[in-house]
A and B are shown apart, each in its own frame.
Chain A
Amino acid sequence: MATQTATTVNGTKALKITGGDVKMTGMQSMAEKMWIPFTAMGLMIVIVAFILGIVISGMESDYYSNSKEVRDAAVQGSDIAVDRGTIEAMKQWVPGFKFFGLGLMLGGITFLLATILGNLRLAGGRVQRALGVDQVVIKKPMIANIFPMLMMMGVMVMLAAFIISIVLATIAGDYWDNSIATVLNPATPGGQGDDLLADIGTIKSINAWLTPFKFLGMALLFSGIALALLTIVKVLRFQASRFVEVAQQAGK
């Protein structure tokens, strides 16, 4: 079984691997398997969201083929009111779905960067073994521990935003499946249609922070990607230092 001993290379904390070969870390092995499903699922979701956009477009085209009087007068349960409810509901959850797909794709990219790190680790170990010197790898830097967490948090934020948008979609579907002229417009607080007024208030107020919330999710994912890239920088610099050290030892 391989053992790890703490050491330093050119001022950078490192680990000397003895009694075995350098292997990918658990996270890197997992990332190697996960990047394809994440990216593929994300891509499929984004494509499905595009198709749903075409469906919404067709429904809107049908809905607006009616005059304003007819649209506004359409009563609850009528085809026109149901159409409006469906359109408004879809407009709520489809963007959340699309952002979730983007989140999965960015998660896939982060996993791919972790796979690159794993391969750099393996390649470094193999070159050192081939040269007949101790296999020394960089000790996992702090940012290497942070970037997978940021990525997972980003995906979770996107999933939460999607779930919230589904809840909003049900509220929007119920709200718009009413006559605009006789029920929605005359609604008054504490009077007729009070619950409908509360519904539209909820939809508008949640939407006001839901979009920045999705951007916050994107921010977490992009931070994860940036930190993964900076981890690659650290590993490459470490390898440069290590090979210089090997040459210096060989030259003595």
Chain B
Amino acid sequence: MTLQQISQKARGTHRGTNIALLLVLAGMMIEMTAFIIGIALGISYADYWANSQAVRDAASPTNNPGILSQVGTITAVEAWLVPFKFVGLSMFFSGIAAALYTIVKTMQLRGDAFAASFPIALGIGSGTDADGGNS
């Protein structure tokens, strides 16, 4: 790879950087959403537990259906909110993996740059026959 080719490759931002940033942003949005849903769930919890145990236990579709619907909502939301938070975390792990992959590619490019430029800088060769690598 020639010095010009390396210079062109090193210019701008690697695609992996943008992918990593997108994944991190998606993860952050998921965690923020989970937090907001958690606050709403907290309000439902406070309402539900403001009733005595007798009222909570006696709730049926005909008697106090509101309480029954509330406990249904709380249970249903909690069932998917926990995995949803982990989806958010997985976005971060994917983003970190993308960033690490980009580091690998960049280190290969840096290796090419060293191989091509050091012989010239030290006056011991042309440096244009440097191994292209796969960066």
Contact = CB atoms under 8 A, between A and B. Distances in A.
Interface of A: 10-11, 131, 133, 185-189, 191, 197-198, 200-202, 204-213, 215-216, 218-219, 222-223, 225-227, 229-230, 232-234, 236-241, 243-248, 250-251
A219 B27 CA distance: 7
Given A219-B88, A246-B121, A212 B31 contact: yes
Nearest to B98: A226
A222 B96 contact: yes
Interface string B34-54: 110111011111101111111
Nearest to A187: B52
B46 A230 contact: no
B35 A213 contact: yes
A185 B53 contact: yes
B20 A205 contact: no
A241 B99 contact: no
A133 B102 CA distance: 29
Contacts of A230: 17, 20-21, 99, 102
Given A201-B45, A223-B28, A236-B106, A211 B38 contact: yes
Q: Is the interface of B mostly helix, strand, loop or mixed?
A: helix
A212 B85 contact: yes
A6 B35 CA distance: 43
Q: Is the interface of A mostly helix, strand, loop or mixed?
A: helix
B6 A244 contact: yes
Enumerate the 10 nearest inter-chain pairs by beta-carbon distance, A residue then B residue, closest first.
Answer: A247-B117, A212-B38, A229-B99, A222-B92, A209-B38, A201-B49, A240-B113, A208-B42, A219-B31, A205-B42
Contacts of B96: 222, 225-226, 229
Given A187-B52, A215-B31, A226-B23, 9 more contacts: A11-B11, A186-B54, A201-B45, A205-B43, A212-B81, A215-B34, A215-B88, A222-B89, A237-B109
Nearest to A242: B113
A215 B20 CA distance: 19
Contact of A208 (B3, B38, B117): B38
Given A205-B43, A215-B88, A244-B116, A226 B99 contact: yes
Interface string B91-121: 0110110011011001101101110111011
A19 to B, nearest CB: 23
